[in-house]
Amino acid sequence: METSPLALPFPACPPIAGVELRVARARYKAWDRCDLTFAALAEGTTVAGVTTKSKCPSPEVEWCRAALTLGRARALVVNAGNSNAFTGHRGRAAVEAIAARVAGAIGCQPSDVFVASTGVIGVPLPIDKAEAGIDAALAAAPASWEEAAATIMTTDTFPKAATATAVVDGRTVTLVGIVKGSGMIAPDMATMLGFVFTDAAIEAPLLQAMLSSANEASFSCITVDGDTSTSDTVLAFATGAAGNAPLTSMDDAGADALAAALQQVCTELAQAVVRDGEGASKFVTVEVEGAESDASARRIALSIANSPLVKTAIAGEDANWGRVVMAVGKAGEPAERDRLAIRFGATQVARDGLAVEGYDEAPVAAHLKGREVEIGVDLGLGEGRATVWTCDLTHGYISINADYRS
C-alpha cells in the first residue's frame, strides 16, 4: 500500500522511564510483519482512558472499562489484524487468557493488564496465537517507539507518534504517544487505538480528567468516513518515574503544564490519523464560528466534514460552496440563511445568504489544489465555535474497503 501523500515523518521520541516496549509476530493474518505489541509498565503506574460509545463494543473495550475503575496498570497488549469484536463468549475468553498469561509472567493481577485489538470484526481472536505471541514478545529485545507504532497498524500507511515535555514540580516530565487509525474514523470518542505514556507522577482521577478534556478537543474532533468503531480505545499511562510530587489537583504546580502537553500530544496524534485517512489526498480543516453554542458549532462542523458531497467536491478540487450550505442546513442546529457566510481558505465566497458579488474563483481553485484545505463558516448568531479535521473522499477509499477482508 502506498504511503499517504499527507504522511508526516516519524518524530524523534525519547524513552519513557518505567515503560519497556516489545513487539512480536502472533500471525493473526497471513502477513509477514509483527502484529502484537507489549508494553511493560513500572509498579505504581496510574492509568486513564476513554472508549467507544458504540453499543456493540469489543470484549477488549469492556475489559479496559472495568480495569480503569481501579486506576492502576502494569502492562498493555495490543493486537493488530483482528478486532475480536462481536465474538461472544469466545472473544471474552481470549481477553481473559491474554491478561492471565501476562499477569502470570510479570507477577501482577490480570486487572492490571490492558488489552486492545483492531482489525476484522466477527472473527474470534485465536487464543493459541495470542499466547504464543505474548511469549515471543516477552522473550524479544526491547523495541523502539517506531516499531511499536508500526506494529499496531492495520490499513494505516505510516506509523504515527507525538511527543512533548512539561515542567512539573521543578522536574521535566516527558510524554510520548502512538496511535493507529485510517478508516472507520468518526468522533464518537475517537475511532482508533491510541496510547500515551508519561513519566509524570499523577493520581488516576486527575489523569482521567486531563485525558477526557484533551480527547474532547482532539480525537473527538476528527472524522474520515463518519463510522464509529467497536474498538475505540485511548489510554494514558503515568509511571511516576520522573520523581515529581504526585499531582492530585489542577491547583498543583505544573498540573496545567502537563494538561497542555497532553492536549498537544493528543491533537497531533488525532490530526495524524486524518492525514492517513483511507485514500485521502487532502487534509481538511473545518472551522465554524458564530453559532449559538460551542456544541452547536461542533455538530455543524461535523455535518460539513462528514458530507460525502463536500468531501468528493474537495477531492475533485471543485469550489462548490453550495454543498457547504447544504451541510449546514441539514445539521439540525440553529442557522439563519441570510446571516450565513462561507469561505474557502482566505477567500470569502458567500455572505448574508448569497454569493459574494463578483467574487473571483481563481484563488479558491488554487487553494483547493493544495494538500491543506480550509473551510470556514460564520453563522452570525452567537459566540459558539468549533474546529474539526477531516480529509477528502476519493476512489482509493472505495478500493481499500471493498477488499478489506481479502
Q: What is the pLDDT of residues 300-323, one digit of tens each?
A: 999 999 999 999 999 999 989 999
Active-site residue, from 45, 118, 157, 191: 191
Three cell numbers, residue 85: 469484536
Contact residues for 181 (Cβ-Cβ < 8 A; gap 6+):
156, 160, 190, 191, 192, 193, 194, 273, 276
Residue 248 a catalytic site member: no
- Domains of the chain (ranges, CATH numbers): 19-275 (3.60.70.12), 283-402 (3.10.20.340)
245-304: per-residue pLDDT in tens?
Answer: 999 999 999 999 999 999 999 999 999 999 998 889 999 999 999 999 999 999 999 999
* Predicted local distance difference test score (pLDDT) of residue 183: 60
Task: Please tell me whether 96 is known to bind a ligand.
Answer: no
Strands 372-378, 283-291: pairing is parallel
Report pLDDT digits (tens) over 136-165: 999 999 999 999 999 999 889 999 999 999
Beta-carbon contacts of residue 57 (< 8 Å; ≥ 6 apart): 51, 85, 230, 231
| DSSP state for residue 241 in the 8-state scheme | T
Inter-residue contact 169 to 258 (CB < 8 Å) = no
Residue 287 assigned as binding residue? no
For 45-102, the three-class secondary structure string (H helix, E strand, C coil) is CEEEEEECCCCCCCHHHHHHHHHHCCCECCEEEEEEEECCCCCHHHHHHHHHHHHHHH
Q: Supply the pTM of this predicted model.
A: 0.93
State yes or no: 401 annotated in a binding site.
yes
